[in-house]
């Protein structure tokens, strides 16, 4: 069974990577991802300056997934640029996620990162839900177009965007129409469902400290929404923009479903936090078993081939 795929012009030995966020902030975490069986890996979303992030507790596991309001703790983009040079020894693509606090900050980081050979591609995060007072860019279609109009000509690396979930058919169409205007290489669907509220009924209180308990949820809660977004963008985007699936993948079946909806690559978020990098081996093994049972040799045998009734 062959799990190989391609993204951003890179050939990958398998279709699994980490979601930007879990276990990809520090040198140790990035090296563990480098050594893991993931086909490629990506950094925590970087800002210009190093950030501490929001007060703890700011990530909590729940029976159906997780909630977080990390607040972009990261070591600053120059740290990830330097890491890229060190991580090249793992001989697999390393992407940097960029999430500036302003358009100017994104411009500055992307111009710099574009010059560094060891960085394979950039995922521009348009969907951070956890910064008090800052809306998610990708829920503002006008601003999204302004950002892409400015960034695209400056970026000489393969560029993708990380999107939040959309919930209305017209929004899928409006966003796809914007994205189709640009030479994007991939779109990652989805970030966490933002500003959810998990509570502890015994204590009658919220479970995370920032923003009075409001945070992005991931895991089982979000798989149907993730599949819907992967499917919509796979259908609506021009064929040279690949879809990266993220949301609720904790088994081979979940990965299979994302690929059936059209994902070329799939990301592990909550399950990576819960299980560590061994999740890549387990889920890849489970996906191969499903393919074997179904008589599929390659991902292309079923990628995007979801049937309607
Ligand atoms: C954070 C969370 C996100 O979902 C994201 O896209 C970027 C940053 C955070 O809280 O650190």
Domain that holds residue 49: 5-53+72-195+219-301
pLDDT tens, residue by residue, 145-200: 999 999 999 999 999 999 999 999 999 999 999 999 999 999 999 999 999 999 99
At residue 267, the 3 state secondary structure works out as strand
Q: Which pLDDT band holds residue 47 (cuts at 50, 70, 90)? A: very high
So what's the pLDDT on residue 133? 85
pTM of the predicted protein model: 0.98
Whether 35 is covered by a domain: the verdict is yes
Known catalytic residue at 189: no
pLDDT of 134 above 90: no
Catalytic-labelled residue, pool 15, 24, 128, 261: 128
What CATH number does residue 126 fall under? 3.20.20.70
Whether 239 is covered by a domain: the verdict is yes
Give me the chain's average pLDDT, please. Answer: 98
pLDDT tens, residue by residue, 277-287: 999 999 999 99
Which residue's alpha carbon is nearest to atom 6 within ligand 1? 128
pLDDT of 273 above 90: yes
- Domain count for the chain, please give it: 1
pLDDT of 131 above 90: no
- What is the CB neighbour count within 10 angstroms for residue 219? 23
Whether 190 is covered by a domain: the verdict is yes
72 close to ligand 1 (CB < 6 Angstrom):
yes
Whether 206 is covered by a domain: the verdict is no
137 close to ligand 1 (CB < 6 Angstrom):
no
Whether 275 is covered by a domain: the verdict is yes
Place of tokens 């909806």: 261
128 close to ligand 1 (CB < 6 Angstrom):
yes
DSSP string computed for 187-245: EEE---EEEEE-EETTTTEESSSGGGGEEEEEEGGGHHHHHHHHHHHHHHS-TTSEEEE
Whether 214 is covered by a domain: the verdict is no
Whether 178 is covered by a domain: the verdict is yes
pLDDT tens, residue by residue, 239-259: 999 999 999 999 999 999 999
The residue-averaged pLDDT of 287-297 equals 98
By residue count, the chain amounts to 309
The residue-averaged pLDDT of 6-25 equals 98
At residue 165, the 3 state secondary structure works out as coil
pLDDT tens, residue by residue, 69-78: 999 999 999 9
Whether 264 is covered by a domain: the verdict is yes
Choose among 281, 129, 280: nearest CA to 190.
Answer: 129
């Amino acid at each position: 069974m062959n799990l190989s795929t391609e993204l951003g012009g890179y050939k990958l030995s398998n279709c699994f990577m980490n979601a930007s966020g879990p276990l990809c902030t520090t040198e140790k975490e990035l090296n563990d991802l480098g050594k893991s069986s993931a086909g490629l890996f990506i950094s925590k979303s970087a800002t210009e300056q190093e950030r501490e992030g929001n007060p703890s507790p700011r990530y909590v596991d729940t029976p159906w997934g997780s909630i977080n309001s990390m607040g972009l703790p990261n070591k600053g983009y120059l740290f990830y640029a330097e890491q890229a040079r060190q991580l090249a020894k793992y001989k697999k693509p390393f992407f940097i996620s960029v999430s500036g606090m302003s358009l100017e900050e994104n411009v500055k980081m992307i111009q710099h990162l574009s010059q560094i050979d060891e960085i394979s591609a950039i995922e521009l995060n348009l969907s951070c839900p956890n910064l008090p007072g800052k809306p998610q860019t990708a829920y503002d279609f006008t601003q999204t177009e302004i950002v892409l109009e400015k960034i695209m000509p400056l970026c000489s690396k393969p560029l993708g965007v990380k999107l939040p979930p959309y919930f209305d058919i017209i929004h899928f169409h409006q966003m796809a129409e914007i994205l189709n205007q640009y030479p994007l290489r991939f779109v990652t669907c989805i970030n966490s469902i933002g500003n959810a509220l998990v509570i502890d009924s015994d204590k009658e209180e919220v479970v995370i400290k920032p923003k009075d308990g409001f945070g992005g949820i991931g895991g089982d809660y979000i798989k149907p929404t993730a599949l819907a977004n992967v499917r919509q963008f796979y259908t609506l985007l021009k064929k040279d923009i690949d879809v990266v699936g993220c949301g609720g993948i904790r088994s081979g079946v979940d990965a299979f479903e994302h690929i059936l909806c059209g994902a070329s690559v799939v990301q592990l978020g909550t399950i990576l936090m819960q299980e560590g990098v061994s999740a890549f081996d387990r889920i890849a093994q489970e996906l191969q078993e499903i393919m074997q049972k179904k008589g599929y040799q390659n991902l292309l045998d079923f990628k995007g081939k979801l049937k309607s009734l």
